Structure 1
Amino acid sequence: ECELSGLHLQDECRCLSFKEAIEQIRKISLQRFLLLFLLGIALGGFLFGFVGSRVWEWKRVTFILLLSLASFVVISMPEHYLEEHIWKHIAKRHLWRIFLWSFFALLLINAGLKFWNLEVFVKTHMLWVLLIASLVGVVPESGPHLIFVMMFAKGMVPFSVILASSIVQDGHGMLPLLSYSLKDSLLIKLFNLVIGLGVGFLLYLAGF
């Protein structure tokens, strides 16, 4: 489980200081170098068409913008935040989970398309898929949500399904509240579920 982030009291924040960024690059740490190296490879792959579509479409542009923003954040953030929150927390504790969920989501969907006629089942039971996607969103983990993200990317489910799932799911952000108040957590999840199902159903009826 994720622990609550510590509160750091300081008189001045120099998170976006150009001078600090130059100094951090000059005395670059191993963690910052590795993150920039990986982001640079990914950014170059999308820029030169080695990764994803070779056509300049919104997906390619979005990935390039996000990777550029991530690189800027890694360059400009303070060393403490980089090491404690980005490297030790996100990279070491969550990145491998996202990779595994993405891998098995793709594996499951491709196996379903090849062996179980999954696409026909989904198309003929879309309301059930909408309900299942919303219920899966109740789980305080964002990994299962990737299954429906992959299905949406492959054109198997409409926007209404992915939106309903996105509204309901909070990822592991719900865990701190869950440890503090089970009743409040359940009420919030119930509220999200009702809103997600309602919005998703209305959009589905509207053809989205």
Structure 2
Amino acid sequence: MEVLSHNLKHGLMITIFVFVMMIFIDYINVVTKGRMEGAMKGGRFRQYIVASFLGATPGCLGAFMNVSFYIHGLMSFGAIVGGMIATSGDESFVMLAMFPEEALVLFGILFVLGVASAYIVDRLVPVFRIEPCKECQLLRVHPQYESLYLNMGGTLEQVRRMSLSRFLLLVLLLGSLYGFVAGRIGPPDWNWQRVTLVSLVCLAVFIVMTVPDHYLEEHIWNHIAKRHLWRVFIWTFGVLLAVDLGLRFWNLEAFVRAHMLWVLLIAALVGVIPESGPHLVFVMM
């Protein structure tokens, strides 16, 4: 039961963050009338730099932002690969605490490797006929419907005649906000990660309360919530649970120590695992 509870909370935290980031990115793109999309898609090299920089930043939030950009079609397949190569996850905080100078050098190396790998992968995409994520049709701005996002005049009226979809989204976001503030989900202490999560959820609440009905229904409810939200949660929770159960029945650390010649291969395989815990074995070693 403890395993289910732990992975459920972790899965919820990741899902809410991805959901909020998707809302935020789409909202900014519409408010700027598509200029954010143009900035991100201004050149492949710019995408490689942004993706690798976000990946190299400590923690997992940068990697989640890269995923949100890629889902929206704002990053190439090579850029998302480069971002993931540059990512060291939550282990970056452990490395900064244990060996800060070497950690900073490592982050720099990962950034360079991310940019180089992104370029190489994009060259290989046509060769292997990889189908990258398509641009979201909803990123196309419709001025006739979406020109009053910062107009607060109709907010009270929208709250008074609140639709079911707006109500359900607010329940989800306010419930998540309570979970983060109370420490039920997410980081147990008030650190920069909890502050970031709380701030982003508050921003999402503001967006959901103030956007027009057309944008709410077509962009947030029908597309982001109904199409992406449940898939993100099921895959995240399922992978976390499978990895946790697997590690409980397979003593990875003892196996690595007994077969040092295989450390490099095992490290590469463990690096693919979408969870921070197993990677700490190699940080400690």
Q: What range is the shorter-chain TM-score in?
A: 0.5 to 0.7
* Structure 2 partner of 1:115: 249
- Give CA-to-partner distance per residue, 1:161-196, whole Å, 9 cap, x none: xxxxxxxxxxxxxxxxxxxxxxxxxxxxxxxxxxxx
Shift of 1:43: 0.4
CA distance in 2, matches of 1:83, 1:12: 12
1:29 to 163, 187, 191: 163
| Aligned-pair CA distance for 1:53 | 3.8
Deviations 1:59-117 (A, max 9, x none): 22222111111111111212111101111111111111111111111111111211123
RMSD: 2.9
Looking at structure 1, the residues matched to 145 and 173 of structure 2 have their Cα atoms a distance apart, in angstroms, of: 32
Determine the C-alpha separation between the residues in 2 that align with 1:108 and 1:11: 44
Give me the whole-angstrom Cα distance separating, in 2, the residues matched to 1:108 and 1:83.
Answer: 35
Q: How many residues align?
A: 141
Q: Look up the match of 2:56.
A: none
Provide the residue aligned with 2:64 in structure 1: none
Q: TM-score, normalised by structure 1?
A: 0.58
Work out which structure has the larger RCO, using CA pairs closer than 8 Å and 6 or more positions apart in sequence. Answer: 2
2: CA distance between counterparts of 1:63 and 1:11?
30
| Aligned equivalent of 2:222, options 85, 88, 105 | 88
User: Are 2:279 and 1:157 aligned?
Assistant: yes
Gaps of 5+ in 2: 1-132, 258-262
Write the letter of the residue equivalent to 2:226. K
Distance 1:64 1:122, change over 3 A: farther
Q: Residue 146 of structure 2 contacts residue 215 of structure 2 at CA under 8 Å; is this kept in 1?
A: no
Q: Give TM-score scaled by structure 2 length.
A: 0.43
Mapping 1:24-173, distance limit 5 Å: 24-118=158-252, 124=263, 125-130=266-271, 133=272, 148=274, 151-152=275-276, 154=277, 156-157=278-279
CA contact (8 A) 2:145 2:214 kept: no
Aligned-pair CA distance for 1:118? 4.1
Runs of 5+ consecutive residues of structure 1 not aligned to the other structure: 134-146, 159-203
Distance 2:238 2:182 in 1: 28
Distance verdict in 2 for CA 1:95–1:122, change over 3 Å: farther
